[in-house]
Amino acid sequence: MPLQVAVAAIRDSHNRILISKRADHLHQGGLWEFPGGKIEAGESVKEALVREIREELGIEVTDGSPLISIPYQYSDRTVHLHVWLVDQFRGEPKGMEGQKVRWIAQEKLQEYDFPAANRSIISALQLPDQYLITPQKQTTSELINYLEAPIAKGIKLIQFRAPSWNDQQYLAAAPTVLEYCHSKGVQCVLNRDPELLAAADADGIHLNRHHLSRFNERPIGQEKWLSASCHNVQEIEQAQRIGVDYISLSPVLRTDTHPDAMPMGWQCFSELVASCSMPVFALGGMGEPDIKHAKAAGAQGIAGIRLFLLALE
């Protein structure tokens, strides 16, 4: 039976995250962590979270919302982390049990050593809830013109997908696309073979289902995003096996672009998300109102091509 744990990602008004250091004698001792503890019999996640944070940090949680749920198998135990984002609390946090506590800028979290199960919490904190996949365009300039409006609306993560372009065309366009995205404060991952990452200053690589099946280990460094397309439990397990940071899971609903694909629906989607140890974006037939459905199902948010095209029409 997995150990059920309530975990708080506590964020202050300066967008800093509170972390604490585990005592050396504990499981995963000496590593930094997000505070929390075991859910006792009869407690809800929120009740356990409020109690643990009061005991550990001496503050009172006044508001929060689910961020991500992470099942994780260590070599010596299985845990299930129920992580909430807490951005309202009373009091000044301090180590009530003698532990070190520290406020860290959200973008600096990777610089600290965390238990492996905590890595997905960092990803969930740093990822947005909308993920744009570029539509097919004939030229680089057409693509840049298209990106202007969704970026102006607040899109912060883009997958540069151009399946009809060969590698030479794709690599010729990539520097322009990346420069434009970076100038707007937007991250951009390439939908191509990981070997091409060395040829462009991208923020990561997205693996389609065919690329995903090729690897026995993570093909790029931890300093870059690694994402993947998944459609079933076997592909999810493969993504987890090689250390993917986040996935898109599809098709959730019926789409015009893939009318013959059988949609899984929200119930099946929710069940698959529950098996994931990484953030998940719902893909397929999404519209902006579906963000609430995706989050209620445990997902990070929604992804798509057409949803952004429709929003701009």
Which domains, from first to last, does the chain contain? 3-126 (3.90.79.10), 130-312 (3.20.20.70)
Alpha helices (H) along 262-312:
265-274, 290-296, 306-312
The share of the chain scoring above pLDDT 70, in percent, equals 95
Residue 133 CA to residue 112 CA, distance in Å, equals 31
Smallest CA-to-CA distance from 30 within 16, 40, 20 is with 20
Distance CA 93, CA 34 (A): 13
- Asked if 89 and 59 touch (Cβ cutoff 8 Å), the reply is yes
Reported as a pLDDT band with limits 50, 70 and 90, residue 108 is: very high
Contact 285, 264 (CB under 8 A): no
Which residues neighbour 109 within 8 Å (Cβ) at sequence distance 6 or greater?
Answer: 17, 19, 122, 125, 126
134 secondary structure, DSSP code = P
State the pLDDT confidence band at 185, using cuts at 50, 70 and 90.
Answer: very high
Amino acid, res. 267: Q
Neighbours of 215 (CB within 10 A): 19
Query: Taking Cα atoms as reference points, which of 89, 67, 65 lies closest to residue 12?
Result: 89
Say what the pLDDT of residue 257 is.
Answer: 65
This prediction has a pTM of 0.92
Residue showing tokens 């202050």: 12
Q: 70-107 pLDDT, tens per residue?
A: 998 887 788 899 999 999 999 999 999 999 999 999 99
Q: Could you give the strand order of the β-sheet that contains 60-73, starting from the edge strand earlier in sequence?
A: 36-38, 3-10, 78-90, 60-73
- In angstroms, the CA 247 to CA 279 distance is 7
Tell me, what DSSP letter sits at residue 136?
P
CA dist 234 and 224 (Å) reads: 24
- Please give the helix or strand (H or E) that residue 26 lies within, else none: none
Which pair of tokens denotes residue 184? 């707007």
CA 137 remoteness from chain centre? 27
Q: What digits encode the pLDDT tens for the residues 187-217?
A: 999 999 998 888 888 999 999 999 999 999 9
CA distance 171 to 211: 18
Look at phi and psi of residue 267 and say left if phi exceeds 0, alpha if psi is from -120 to 50, else beta.
alpha
Are the beta carbons of 281 and 301 closer than 8 angstroms?
yes
As a whole number, the mean pLDDT across the chain is 92
Residue 117: pLDDT band (50, 70, 90) is confident
243 forms beta bridges with: none
Q: What is the pLDDT of residues 12-62, one digit of tens each?
A: 999 999 999 987 666 666 899 999 999 999 999 999 999 999 999 999 999
